[in-house]
Structure 1
Amino acid sequence: MVGVGEQLERCAASRGSPRGPAPLERAILGALVYADLFDYPLTLLEIHRYLIAVPASLLEIRTAIARSKWLTDRIVERRGLWTLRGREHLCELRSQRAAAAARLWPHALRYGRILAALPYVRMGAVTGALAMDNAEDGDDIDYLIVTAPGRLWLCRAMVIALVRWAARHGIALCPNYFLSERALALEDRNLFTAHELTQMIPLFGGPIYQHMRAQNAWTARFLPNADGPPWSAEVVATGGRWIRAGLEAIGRAPPGAWLEAWEMRRKIRKFSTREGGEVRFDPDHCQGHFDGHGQRTLAAFAERFHRLCL
């Protein structure tokens, strides 16, 4: 099987022929195949944003769909949503999940305001299913957190305390990715990571979000139309800034560095007993994706995209 990266290269470099689909047709199908892995049909605007490997305008996409028998044999529109043929039931499922997401967003914003007030937190964004309004009641609220350099593990400890407090109130917070400000350029450069970056909804720390996107300009190779966030919430931190500033000043003293090193060693020792997945633990990273979700998604995309392109 051709790897995902090589498939995208071929899609971007191919010139099309009377016997096969043009690059734009493949790119449109690719966007819908990827979304289908998450049972998620797309609007035309979303197809445009998440078009794979080939930059194109909304008009070019609309025209390609209208004129391509190759595409219309494989995709279908229902109530303004596009999906793979045989998957039309997902249009109703999207409505149900959007309603569930609407019930989760107030909690995501409320706890986002608290996160913004914690010492050493510099940026926070909602990721995962909720970022796409593709959630179900009771789902975790996933966050990516950017921290001050040298205090990632102390910051994480405070965030986990908030997670436990929220759980007592029936809210499942899942801050599953921590980065320090000096580690914004991501090493995993693939379609899955590009989607996670371009789908996430920044809640606070807008300048750092912009810097992170600039540090990961490689995402344009995979999703050339996905510039900036889908939308931005910009919550205001709960609590006084002077309290956070005071706590951070205390934490800059020598005992703070000792506590940071102790907490990092303690947690890495614990995490090292678990195997597999996409993980990285060091002074600037706490990535605990033990289930290997990204690699499984890429493998599933490669298989389905290849099969539907035949």
Structure 2
Amino acid sequence: MKESHETEILNLIAYFDVFNYPLSFEELSKFVSISPDHLRKYIADLCEIGIISNNEDFIGTENLKVKIENRLVGNKKAAALKDKAAKNANLISTFPFVRGVLISGSFSKGFVSDDGDIDYFIITKPGRLWIARTFLILYKKLFLFNSHEYFCVNYFVDEDHLEIEEKNIFTATELVTLLPMVNKTLHQKLVQNNAWIKAYYPSLFHENNTISEPKRSTLQRFGEGIMKGKFGNKVDNYFMKLTLKRWQKKFGFLSNEDFEVAMKTTTNVSKHHPNNFQKKVLERHQEIFEKLIETYEENTNVKAAV
């Protein structure tokens, strides 16, 4: 099937269907390169041949009513946690070498499941990413008793390496829906360094009218004062190697290829996704998308024959 507006719509519906998350018409219109009037016509045509459904202005596939109900419950939970998310983001920003804080995952899309958490995407000073990460992990272990609930710090990049290497619909969606919490300038720089996203999404990037500007805390001044120069370089390198060794032992079941993506460990990037969620999502998305396309082609061929 050639690239078309129908393909664009079905591709996005298939992606969010992986999460059983039907999009509202307003959301879908922001994600695609189609005018609202034309989008409504395409949606009506796709609904008419039974590929997708439209209920209360939400668009999705089978069991749409149940998915809408579950989505609305998760939306309310996310709204109730808005202040907590902002509080934690501001707290994270006070740690040594942290320069910017954003929220990723389901919360950035306005949803929290019953067992969900809040995922933070953290930008650090170059050459000090692993010190920043270690301080935050120690805080979580000592003061939050290693709880992942509402304080999941699993993705770090430094401010000189903001372009994401893996370029696919998963990473594009995560980037385009990142919710900036601290340091608007760095968020804008992140957007500029990932212009490739436009191949997936035309223009949408989250804004946050209450985004905080970074402030130098006493903890930052103290920690960064100690970890200067060659000593800081050695400590950062030590923490990276220590973490890598631990992860290689703990997640040895991953192939080298999967480990490189899910547990990326370099001087300027740290990812901690042992379930390799990205791979599972991409595989499931492709499966749903191919099924929708197959159904679309079958119906349009029948219609053409008639």
User: Secondary structure of the residue that 1:186 maps to in structure 2?
Assistant: coil
Deviation at 1:87, TM superposition (A): 2.6
Deviation at 1:172, TM superposition (A): 4.1
1:88 to 61, 65, 69: 65
Partner of 2:190 in structure 1? 212
1:118 maps to 2:95 = yes
Instruction: Summarize the Cα distance change of 1:169–1:219 in structure 2 as closer, same or farther, 3 Å threshold.
Output: closer
User: Secondary structure of the residue that 1:256 maps to in structure 2?
Assistant: helix
Residue ranges of structure 2 left out of the alignment (5+ in a row): 295-306
Q: Return the letter of the residue paired with 2:283.
A: A
Partner of 2:297 in structure 1? none
The equivalences for 1:6-17 within 5 A come to 10-11=2-3
Partner of 1:300 in structure 2? 284
Instruction: Summarize the Cα distance change of 1:289–1:170 in structure 2 as closer, same or farther, 3 Å threshold.
Output: closer
2:14 to 33, 36, 44: 33
1:271 maps to 2:285 = no
Does the Cα contact within 8 Å between 1:25 and 1:71 map onto a contact in 2? no
Deviation at 1:219, TM superposition (A): 0.7
2:83 to 91, 106, 111: 106
User: Secondary structure of the residue that 1:282 maps to in structure 2?
Assistant: coil
> Identity rate of aligned residues, in percent?
24
The equivalences for 1:1-310 within 5 A come to 10-11=2-3, 23-51=4-32, 55-66=33-44, 68-69=45-46, 73-164=50-141, 165-167=143-145, 171-226=149-204, 228-229=205-206, 231=208, 233-235=210-212, 241=217, 244-273=220-249, 274-275=251-252, 276=254, 277=258, 278-310=262-294
Once the two structures are superposed, residues 34-74 of structure 1 have per-residue CA deviations (whole angstroms, 9 ceiling, x without a partner) of 111111111112112233xxx222232123223x2566522
User: Secondary structure of the residue that 2:144 maps to in structure 1?
Assistant: helix
Distance across 2 between alignment mates of 1:288 and 1:71: 43
Once the two structures are superposed, residues 160-184 of structure 1 have per-residue CA deviations (whole angstroms, 9 ceiling, x without a partner) of 1232323478944111111111211
Q: How many residues align?
A: 285
Instruction: Summarize the Cα distance change of 1:35–1:240 in structure 2 as closer, same or farther, 3 Å threshold.
Output: same
Instruction: Summarize the Cα distance change of 1:236–1:205 in structure 2 as closer, same or farther, 3 Å threshold.
Output: closer
User: Secondary structure of the residue that 1:117 maps to in structure 2?
Assistant: coil
Does the Cα contact within 8 Å between 2:21 and 2:71 map onto a contact in 1? yes
Distance across 2 between alignment mates of 1:305 and 1:292: 20
Distance across 2 between alignment mates of 1:95 and 1:44: 15
Once the two structures are superposed, residues 9-45 of structure 1 have per-residue CA deviations (whole angstroms, 9 ceiling, x without a partner) of x52xxxxxxxxxxx11221122111111111111112
Distance across 1 between alignment mates of 2:101 and 2:48: 38
Does the Cα contact within 8 Å between 1:124 and 1:143 map onto a contact in 2? yes
Distance across 1 between alignment mates of 2:115 and 2:87: 16
User: Secondary structure of the residue that 1:203 maps to in structure 2?
Assistant: strand
Distance across 1 between alignment mates of 2:49 and 2:203: 23
Once the two structures are superposed, residues 215-273 of structure 1 have per-residue CA deviations (whole angstroms, 9 ceiling, x without a partner) of 111111112242x2154541366x85465235323321432222212212211111122
Deviation at 1:284, TM superposition (A): 0.7
Residue ranges of structure 1 left out of the alignment (5+ in a row): 1-6, 12-22
Partner of 1:18 in structure 2? none
Tell me the TM-score normalised to structure 2 length: 0.85
Distance across 2 between alignment mates of 1:260 and 1:170: 24
Tell me the TM-score normalised to structure 1 length: 0.84
Distance across 1 between alignment mates of 2:49 and 2:83: 39
Instruction: Summarize the Cα distance change of 1:105–1:188 in structure 2 as closer, same or farther, 3 Å threshold.
Output: same
Distance across 2 between alignment mates of 1:47 and 1:263: 42
Deviation at 1:109, TM superposition (A): 1.2
Instruction: Summarize the Cα distance change of 1:158–1:173 in structure 2 as closer, same or farther, 3 Å threshold.
Output: same
